[in-house]
A and B are shown apart, each in its own frame.
Chain A
Amino acid sequence: MSRDAKTPPAGYDVQREHMLDFKVDEQLAKVVESDAKNFILTTVDEVFNWAKLSSIWPVTFGLACCAIEMMATSATRYDIDRFGAGAFRATPRQADLMIVSGTVTGKMATRLKRIYDQMPEPKWVIAMGSCAIGGGPYFKYGYHVVKGVDQMVPVDVYVPGCPPRPEVLLEGLMRLQDKIRGRKGRFVTPKWVTDYAKKIPYRK
């Protein structure tokens, strides 16, 4: 079977990803329109937003299994550098993004908070993996696991999975870019969930 399909499989909507490009599309236009009073400012803002979203430098912050997937994301096959986010900085001082990739334990949580604090603004956090999102598999008996990193630091994007595939992290990054761009991106619940819900015949 061909794994390396270079083209999207049937039914995949390429269009939706083009929200990434630095181009005013409808939704962005709406945002812009509302600010249209000060055109220059908006443009400058736009340019800087573009810069911010095109150059998100993550801090090298690997915690657990997900960190390996984070590495895989930055590695050959998925290459997060394509998004300009490949410049992993070892020090939080120069980073924009903290990818909390893995289980946040009680002992680590304070350190995580400190590292987050030490990052200069503007800064973002991606919670990667079930553990970082909500304790994941360690929810029930994890006496030493923080159930959700959002209890420690504000999280911008949640990337589900255990571990999330590299693609998902990339997708999360794109959602973060959307967020920086000033819009909340597209509807987030996958369509198939609601589709199936719709298919069920009504009672009565």
Chain B
Amino acid sequence: MEQNAIYELLAGHLGEGALAWHEDAVEPWAEIAPERIADACLFLRDDERLDFNQLMCLSGIDWDGYDENGKGKSVAILGYTDEGQPETTDRTADGDLGVAYHLYSHAQRHKFTLRVRVAREVAEVPTVSHVWPTAAWHEREAWDLVGIRFAGHPDLRRMLLDEAWEGHPLRKDYVMPAMWEGVPMEGRPLAKNPFPATEPATGDDGPGGPTPPAEA
């Protein structure tokens, strides 16, 4: 089925106010009000004309710093320096968070994309794990990495990181940890120039110095 037709059906179900349609994108997508997402998904799954029985993907997104017009202005994320120390910044992130749902129907062979957007402070979206069981893990992952809480999720624990982990790494303002539960996460500066101007390079096992052993 055509994307537009799907949208029409969905809009018919949800009512106009609940969603917006972005048609000209590479991949058209419908923006849905967060509180209606579970409803919409149930409809998309159960309506036999649509029959979206597969949730291909569920992605949590931090929209902070995204420039809609696409001038490549997105903020640089923080990492570790060459010395292995975490980079820091004064910038505070403020953009919205979002979730994208990619649906597919085995029977009808069509796809559809939904998106929701929530304010960073709210960061809560209804779960769709009762619609598609597979969403359970995706949502856990989104909670883990992006920090979007899914209301009604049966088991919203962190998925990839440890329960005790601090912060949600895929947020744009995430500062890399230096230490975690006794495990050093920072690197060690290895890039040091081994040739300080005065000291001679030494040793068998020394860094690749200019003194190879005599070859036979």
Q: Do the two shown chains form a genuine complex with each other?
A: yes
Does chain B have a CB within 8 A of A109?
A: yes
Give complex CA distance A106, B167 in Å: 15
Q: Which 7 A-B pairs have the closest CB atoms?
A: A189-B208, A147-B187, A109-B183, A140-B79, A141-B79, A143-B176, A106-B183
Number of chain B interface residues as a range? 20 to 34
User: Cβ of B190: which chain A residues have Cβ within 8 Å of it?
Assistant: 134
Scan residues 157-191 of chain A and give those whose CB is less than 8 A from a CB of chain B. 184, 186-191
Can you name the residue of chain B whose Cβ is closest to the Cβ of A135?
B187
Contact at A144–B210, with CB atoms within 8 Å? no
Q: Is the CB of A188 within 8 A of B205?
A: yes
* A152 near B209: Cβ-Cβ < 8 Å: no
Question: Of residues B185, B190, B215, which shows the largest number of chain A Cβ atoms within 10 Å of its Cβ?
Answer: B185
Query: Could you list which residues of chain B lie within 8 angstroms of chain A, going by C-beta atoms?
Result: 77, 79-80, 84, 160-162, 169, 174, 176-177, 180-188, 190, 204-205, 207-210, 212-213, 215-216
* CA of A107 to CA of B162, assembled, Å: 7
Determine the residue in chain A with the shortest Cβ distance to B216: A15
A197, CB-defined interface residue at 8 Å:
yes
- When the two chains form their complex, are residues B204 and A184 in contact, meaning their CB atoms are under 8 A apart? yes
Asked if A189 and B84 make an inter-chain contact with CB atoms under 8 angstroms apart, the answer reads no
Q: Is A91 an interface residue (CB 8 A)?
A: no
**Bound Cα distance from A12 to B216, whole angstroms:** 13
Q: Are A110 and B183 in contact (CB under 8 A)?
A: yes
A contact residues around B207 at 8 Å (CB): 189
Cβ contacts under 8 Å, B210 to chain A: 194, 197-198
The CA of A108 and the CA of B64, in the complex, are separated in Å by: 31
Whether A193 contacts B216 by the Cβ 8 Å rule is no
Given contacts A139-B80, A151-B188, A146 and B177 within 8 Å (CB-CB)? no
Least Cβ distance of B76 to chain A in Å?
A: 11
Tell me the minimal C-beta distance from A204 to chain B in angstroms. 17
**A151 — nearest CB in chain B belongs to which residue?**
B184
A182 to chain B, nearest CB (A): 14
Residues of chain A within 8 A (CB-CB) of B77 are: 141
- Give how many A-B residue pairs fall within 8 Å (CB-CB): 73
Tell whether A107 pairs with B161 under 8 Å between CB atoms, given A143-B177, A146-B185: yes
Asked if A58 is at the interface of the complex by the 8 Å CB criterion, the answer is no
Q: What CA separation (Å) do A141 and B172 show in the bound complex?
A: 12
Q: A148 at interface (Cβ–Cβ under 8 A)? A: yes
Q: How far is the CA of A77 from the CA of B190 in the complex (A)?
A: 35
In the bound complex, what is the Cα–Cα distance between A11 and B212 (angstroms)? 18
- CB-CB under 8 A from B212, the residues of chain A are 187, 189, 191, 194
The CA-CA distance from A191 to B212 in the complex, in Å, is 7
Partner of B185, one of A106, A134, A190, A193: A106
Asked if A144 and B208 make an inter-chain contact with CB atoms under 8 angstroms apart, the answer reads no
| Assembled-state Cα–Cα distance A136/B160 (Å) | 20
Contact A144–B204 (Cβ < 8 Å): no
Given A189-B209, A191-B212: A152 and B183 interface contact (C-beta under 8 Å): yes
A-side contacts of B84, CB under 8 Å:
139, 147
Residues of A within 8 A of B215 (CB): 191
Name A104's closest neighbour in chain B (CB-CB): B183
Contact A194 B208, beta carbon cutoff 8 Å: yes
CA distance A144 to B79 in the complex (A): 11
What chain B residues lie within 8 Å of A145 (beta carbons)?
Answer: 185
B172–chain A nearest beta-carbon distance, Å? 12
Q: Distance (Å) between the CB of A25 and the closest chain B CB?
A: 12
Given A106-B162, A191-B212, CB of A144 within 8 Å of CB of B169: yes
Instruction: Knowing that A107-B162, A143-B169, A147-B80 touch, tell me 5 more A-B residue pairs with CB under 8 angstroms.
Output: A148-B187, A189-B207, A189-B212, A193-B208, A194-B209
